[in-house]
Amino acid sequence: MLVAEKRVHVKEMISHRIGLEEIQSGFDLVKNGTDSMKVIVEPNRNT
């Protein structure tokens, strides 16, 4: 509901956008939890 009402700005929470070939580094970012808030995997993203 907060997102739908635009009371929470989720776009600002995305810390990283990665392609499929970078998926392991994405998992590492999430596991460590220090440099990431939300990691998005974009399958068609070119590095």
Cα–Cα distance between 39 and 13 in angstroms, integer?
9
Q: Are 36 and 30 in contact (CB under 8 A)?
A: yes
The number of domains in the chain is 1
0.85 exceeded by pTM: no
Percent of the chain with pLDDT over 70: 98
Whether 37 shows a pLDDT value over 90: the answer reads no
Cα–Cα distance between 21 and 26 in angstroms, integer?
10
Which residue segment(s) compose the domain that 41 sits in? 1-47
| pLDDT value for 47 | 62
Q: Quick one: average pLDDT of 6-30?
A: 91
